[in-house]
Structure 1
Amino acid sequence: MESTKKILVVEDDPGLQKQMKWSFDDFEVFVAGDRKEALKIIAKEHPSVATVDLGLPPDPEGSTEGLATVEDILAAAPNTKVIVVSGNDERSNAVQAVASGAYDFYQKPIDSELLNQIVTRAHHVFELEEENRRLTMEHIDVSMEGMIANSPQMQTVCQRVEKVAPSDATVLLLGDSGTGKEVCARALHGKNPSISGRFVAINCAAIPENLLESELFGYEKGAFTGATKTTPGKIEYAEGGTLFLDEMGELPMSLQAKLLRFLQERVVERIGGREEIAVNVRVICATHQDLEDKIEKKEFREDLYYRINEIPINIPPLKDRDGDVLLLARSFFDQINLEQGKKLKGFTKDALTALDAHKWPGNVRELKNRIKRAVIMADGKHITAVDLELTPAEDSNEVNSFDLREVRVAVERQVITKALNHTNGKVSPAAELLGVSRPTLYDLIQKLGINV
C-alpha cells in the first residue's frame, strides 16, 4: 500500500470544505459534497480517515443522509476510521453513529488544531490495526506438504489439520474421490511431532476380502496353505507411525468387529496366533461414502463408526474451492512440463476460462490427468482449451443468501481470487483486470484475507 496519509472530508458547505482542507497539513485531503462522491473516493483512494458531516444533501437540515453515508463508508471500507462532525442539534445522532461503528465524533464549531489531533490519532490507530493484520496473516501457516490451495474452503481444512495433527485422536476424512484425502492424511502424519514411525496406507477396496484380514493383521507360519513364514500385518508395520485406512466404507462386515477391537484395545492378534500384540499407532480413516446411510442399511457397524469418527474433516470438492483450479493447474503444468521435457509457455486465455468453468466431477485427479494429457499432446507453445478437451460453460451466478453484505463479500473474494489466478498472482495486472487501483486491490486482498 502507498505510504501517503489520506483523509476524506465529506462536507457540503464550501466554506467549511476549505477550512477543513487546510486543517490537515500532513494528509492528502479529498473532499466530497455528498454520499455518492464520497463512496467513489473511498473505492478509489481508500483513505485511512474520513470526517462526515451529518447534514448532507438531500437532507441538509436533518441527519438521515449523513448517517446513511457513515454506514455505507463502513460497509465499503470497514477499517477506515470515520469521525462524525456534528452540530449541537446532532449530538445524539453522532453518538448513534459511533455506536454503529464510527470511530469518534467532533462537535462544531471547527477548531483546526483540535480536529487535527483527533484525526492524527485515528490515523495512528488505523496504522496499528493494519500492521497487526499484516503480522497475523504472516504468521498463519496453512501450508502443507503436497497441498496446493488458497481458497477459504481449503484454508479451513488446513487449519483444522494443524489443530488435530499433534493429538492422537482417530480422524475420519470425508470427501469425494480425488479430492486429496491421502494428502491430508500425510499432512496429519507429518505435522505430529510425537510420531517417529512410518506412514502406512492401505486401500480397503483394492484388496480381495479373503486377503484383507491377513494384510491388516498378519499371520503365523502354518496358519493356512502358503503361510510358509510368520508375517506381520500392516497394523504392526505402522508401529510408532500412522495407519491410513482408505475407502473405509468398503471394509467387509466380517472384519469390522476385529478392527473395532483393535481400535479400542490397541492390540492385534495374527491369523493362527494366540498372542496379543500391543501396537502404538495413529489411525486415520477415509471414505467417499455416506457411512450413516450404510449404518441404516446394516452395511456398517454403528459402534465402529463412532470409534473412527472422533474428529471428522470434510474435504470440499474442487468445484467448491474458490480459485484453486487455476492454482493447481499452473502447479501441475510446471511439474509435468519439466517431467516430460517439454518447453511450453503456459495456458491461453481460453484455456484458463475453460478450466475455471468446468465442474470437475473427478476433482484434483481429473484436473491433473487433463493437464498431463494436454502437455503431452499440445502442438503449439501454449495449452489451449482444445488441448484440454474443454469448452467454457456459462456461469450460473447462483446466490444462496439474502444478506447483501455477505453476498458482496463472497462475490468480491471470488472475483479477486479469479483475477489473481488469471495473472498468476501479480497484483498490478489483476488490478487492471478488475478496474481498480493497485492500492485499492491491496486493501481488498487484506480485508478479505486472500493469500497472494
Structure 2
Amino acid sequence: MQMLPDFARIGLVEDDPIMGESIVQRLELEGWNVIWWKSGNEAIAAIETQPLTLDLVICDIQLPDVSGEAVFQSLSKLSGTPPFMFITGYGEIDQAVRLMRYGAVDFMTKPFAMDDFLRRISTGCRPHHSSAADPTALGISSAMRNVASILSRYANNDLPVLITGETGVGKEVAARFLHDVSNRANEPFVAVNCAAIPAELMESELFGHEKGAFTGATQRHLGYAERAGNGILFLDEIGDMSVGLQAKLLRLIEQRTFTRVGGEATVQFNARIVSATHRTLNVKSPSNHFRDDLYFRISVLPVEIPPLRERLDDIIGLMDHFLDEATQRTDTDIRGFSSLAEDAAISHPWPGNVRELRNRVERAAALARGEWIMPADLFPEGSDAKASTGFTPLSDVRDAAEKRQIERALGQTGGQISKAATLLAISRTTLWEKMARFGMAPKER
C-alpha cells in the first residue's frame, strides 16, 4: 500500500549493514527513492553540498563517527532542512524529548515492527502539497524558524502548551500562530492576562458566575473558559496566578469540567489550554509559589521564545514591518531606516525585546524630521550602542551584516552553497569560511 506521494525521497543514515539493507529494501518495495549513507559525516557532506530534495531523513543515533544528534544539529542550520526521524537501540526518554524539542518529527527504538515504522514515516514525511505554515512567519532567524516548526508540530495535538520567554519576546504572537495553523483555527482564541486581573475577580472572569452569586452579579456571566468553546484558551503570565486558583485550574485540566461561581451545574470544557510566562516555574525559590503538579500539566509541550538580542537576523525585518504599520496610520514622507539606524538597532541589547522595538519604531516614525529614520530617532536617549563603551566594534557590525546577507542568499537558493556564493559575488571557499566563522556550518573537511 502506497503511504507517501510518488517519488518521495528518503535519506537513511545507518552504519549497520544488515539493518540498513533491510530498511532500504522495504522502502524501495513501497516505491520510494532511498539514499543510504553509512556515516554521519557522509550524510552531512552530501546534504550540504548537493541539491538534494529530501522528504525525510531517517537517522540512527549511534554512528561510528559522529552522533545522529550531531548530524541533525549541523544540518538544521541549513535552509530547507528536511524532517528528521531518529532510530536507536538506546531509547532513553530524556534523549527523545530533547530531540523532539530540537525539531525532530519522531523517534523509534529498535527493534520495531516494520508496519509501525512505515506508518510513522508516512506521518513524519514532508508533504509534497502542503498547506503548512510559512516557517518564517515568526521571523527569518534560525531560532524563530525552529519555534515555528515546533509549534506547527504541536498544532493539531490537544495537549497543553507552555510558551516561555522574556517579557516582550512575542509569546502571545506565538500562541496566535499556533492557533492559526491548527485544526482549531476557525474556533475562538481567548486570551487572558493573569497578571492584569485582580486575584479576587480572576475566578469569576475565568469560570463565569451565576446571577446572584455575589453582590453586583445581576445576571449570568460566561467566563473565559466557556467563551473559548472548542478553540484555544490562552493564559498569559500564568506564573502570576494565585495559588488558590491554580488548584481549580488543575481540576479544569484533569477533569475537563468546571462550575460557574455560585452555580451547581457542571459545564464541559472543550478548549485547548496554551499558557505563557516569563518566570521560571519549575525552580524552587521564596518568590515562586507555583504548584509543581500544575506545572507538569501545563508544560507537556514546551517551547521557548529566545530574546531578540539572540536573533539579530529578525531585527531589520521587524523594524520594516512595524514601520509599515506606523506609516499606514499617519500621513508621513518617511521612506525607511538609514543604514546607521539599522546598525544601531543591531547593536542595541533590547531589554524589552520586540515590544521595545515596536515602541521605538512607532516613536521614530512620529518624530523623525527627515525621509530616513536616523539612530537618534530610534534612541533619543543616546543608548544606541553598547552601554559599557558607548560604541559597538565595527567588526561586530560588519559580521552581523555579512551574516544577514548570507542567510538571505542561502534562503533564496534553497541552501545551495555554490549558487549562494554567486549571488554574493564571492568564491565558494570564501563563503564556506565565513559560514564556519559565523557558526552557520561546520568547517570544510
TM-score (norm: length of structure 1) = 0.60
Aligned pair 1:376/2:366, yes or no? yes
Amino acid of the residue matched to residue 356 of structure 2? E
| Cα contact 2:281–2:288 (8 A) shared by 1 | no
Deviations 1:219-244 (A, max 9, x none): 11111011111111110010111100
2:269 maps to which residue?
A: 279
Say whether 1:299 aligns with 2:289: yes
Asked if 1:159 corresponds to 2:122, the answer is no
Q: How far has the Cα of 1:324 moved from its partner?
A: 0.8
Q: Deviations over 1:279-313 (max 9, x none)?
A: 21110000000111257766111111111011110
Report the alpha carbon displacement of residue 276 of structure 1 after superposing the two structures with TM.
Answer: 1.0
Do structure 1's residue 189 and structure 2's residue 182 form an aligned pair?
no
Distance 1:159 1:398 in 2: 32
Matched ranges for 1:133-172 at <5 A: 143=134, 147-172=137-162
Q: Aligned residue for 1:418?
A: 404
- Distance in 2 (alpha carbons) for counterparts of 1:266 and 1:319: 39
Tell me the equivalent position of 1:210: 200
In the TM superposition, what are the counterparts of 1:296-335 in structure 2 within 5 Å? Answer: 299-335=289-325
What CA distance in whole angstroms lies between the structure 2 residues aligned with 1:338 and 1:439?
A: 44
Corresponding residue number in structure 2 for 1:366? 356
More displaced, 360-369 or 327-336?
327-336
What residue identity is the alignment partner of 2:366?
I
Structure 1 residue 79 and structure 2 residue 49: aligned?
yes
Query: Is contact 1:346–1:382 with CA below 8 Å preserved after alignment?
Result: yes
2-side partners of 1:398 and 1:296: how far apart?
Answer: 43
In structure 2, C-alpha distance between the alignment counterparts of 1:346 and 1:397, rounded to whole Å: 23
Compared with structure 1, are the counterparts of its residues 135 and 363 closer, same or farther at alpha carbon in structure 2 (3 Å cutoff)?
A: closer
Task: Tell me, in whole angstroms, the C-alpha distance in 2 between the residues paired with 1:261 and 1:199.
Answer: 21
Q: CA RMSD in A?
A: 4.2
In structure 1, C-alpha distance between the alignment counterparts of 2:422 and 2:367, rounded to whole Å:
33
Equivalent pair of 2:133/2:181 in contact (CA under 8 Å): no
CA distance in 2, matches of 1:412, 1:167: 43
Would the aligned equivalents of 1:153 and 1:316 in 2 still touch at CA under 8 Å?
yes
The answer on whether the counterparts of 2:184 and 2:232 sit within 8 Å (CA) in structure 1 is no
Contact 1:172 1:284 in 2 (8 A): yes
SS at match of 1:386: helix
Q: Which residue of 2 aligns with 1:354?
A: 344
- Secondary structure in structure 2 of the residue aligned to 1:201: strand
Q: Report deviation, 1:374.
A: 0.6
Greater Rg by CA = 1
Task: Quote the sequence identity (%).
Answer: 39
Query: 1:438–1:331: structure 2 CA closer, same or farther, 3 Å change rule?
Result: farther
- 2:255 equivalent among 265, 276, 284: 265
Q: Relative to 1, partners in 2 of residues 1:190 and 1:433: Cα closer, same or farther, differing over 3 Å?
A: closer
Instruction: In structure 2, list runs of 5 or more residues that go unmatched.
Output: 1-40, 52-63, 66-78, 84-125, 414-419
Alpha-carbon distance between aligned partners in 2 of 1:154 and 1:392, rounded to the nearest angstrom: 24
Aligned residue type for 1:304? L
Partners of 2:291 and 2:319 lie apart in 1 by: 40
| 1:335 Cα deviation after fit | 2.1
Relative to structure 1, is the Cα distance of residues 142 and 439 closer, same or farther in structure 2, using a 3 angstrom cutoff? farther
How many residues align structurally?
313
The 1:295/1:265 distance shift into structure 2, 3 A limit, reads: farther
Cα distance in 1 for partners of 2:377, 2:412 equals 25
**Is it true that 1:200 corresponds to 2:190 in the alignment?**
yes
- 2:234 is aligned, of 209, 227, 244, to 244
The 3 A distance-change label for structure 1 pair 367 and 142 is: same
- Aligned residue identity for 1:344: I
Per the normalisation by structure 2, the TM-score is 0.61
1:59-90: CA deviation from partner (whole Å, max 9, x where unpaired): xxxxxxxxxxxx9xx99x96279xxxxxxxxx
In structure 1, distance between residues paired with 2:432 and 2:248: 56
* Residue type at the aligned position of 2:403: T
Q: Aligned-pair distance for 1:346?
A: 1.3
Question: What is the distance in 1 between the residues matched to 2:308 and 2:133?
Answer: 18
Q: Could you tell me which amino acid in structure 1 is paired with residue 134 of structure 2?
A: S
Q: Partners of 1:216 and 1:414 in 2: how far apart?
A: 45
Q: Measure, in 1, the Cα distance between the counterparts of 2:143 and 2:325.
A: 24
Determine the C-alpha separation between the residues in 2 that align with 1:134 and 1:250: 39
- Residue 142 of structure 1 contacts residue 155 of structure 1 at CA under 8 Å; is this kept in 2? no
Q: CA deviation at 1:391?
A: 2.7
**Displacement of 1:322:** 3.5
- Aligned pairs (5 A) from 1:387-402: 387-389=377-379, 390-393=383-386, 394-395=391-392
- The one-character-per-residue Cα deviations of 1:338-376 (angstroms, maximum 9, x if unpaired) are 222212121112111101100100000000110111111
Equivalent residue letter for 2:49: N
Structure 1 residues 315 and 346: alpha-carbon distance in aligned structure 2, compared to 1, 3 A threshold: same
Aligned partners of 1:374 and 1:383 also within 8 Å: yes
3-state SS in 1 of match to 2:377: coil
In 2, the alpha carbon distance for the partners of 1:431 and 1:378 equals 38
The Cα shift of 1:416 comes to 3.6
Q: Which amino acid aligns with 1:323?
A: D
Query: 1:215/1:432 Cα in 2 relative to 1: closer, same or farther (>3 Å)?
Result: same
Summarize the Cα distance change of 1:284–1:135 in structure 2 as closer, same or farther, 3 Å threshold: closer
Q: Distance in 1 between matches of 2:240 and 2:48?
A: 50
The reply on whether 1:386 has 2:379 as its aligned counterpart is: no
Residue 99 of structure 2 aligns with which residue? none
Distance 1:304 1:134, change over 3 A: closer
